[in-house]
Amino acid sequence: MLRRQVTDYFSKLYTMDNYLTGIFPVHGRFPKLETNEITGLLAEVIEEEVRRLVFNTSPLKAPRVDGFHAKFCQANWEIVGVSVFNLVKRAFSREFNKTLLMLIPKFFGVESINQFRPISLCNVLYKIITETIVICL
């Protein structure tokens, strides 16, 4: 029952209809990208950028989906580097959307689902992909 309530509530909250009408569960609107920013996002990902980002990532901050931290990638770059790069590159060409969602109560004694705040617990590969996007912009 609780699972259905959570799924229904957040599915309705984050719908394509809300996106198209500009009704967001956050204050304000998202800024529009400039032409040069769009061009940067369409640029090809470079392996050296990904390598630099992996080595600039805090070694034990966030594990990958498989449970390994950035330290594993850093220590074994010669072996896993090509795979990490290919994963980041694929993220720009297809849907890459898996993360762990947690519901945090907004205050003590919550009584309904809308009194929770969803947060995403992202893994280290998301962080590398995000930083790659930042460089493109």
pLDDT digits (tens, 9 = 90+) for 19-46: 545 555 555 556 666 788 778 777 788 8
Flag whether pLDDT at 136 surpasses 70: no
Per DSSP, helices labelled H in 14-123 are 16-21, 35-42, 47-56, 70-75, 77-91
pLDDT of residue 94: 55
Position 7 scores a pLDDT of: 80
Q: Read off the pTM.
A: 0.49
Cβ(124)–Cβ(61) below 8 Å? yes
CA distance 33 to 57: 27
Structure tokens, 74:
């850093």
Instruction: List the one residue out of 136, 122, 121, 56 whose CA is nearest residue 89.
Output: 136
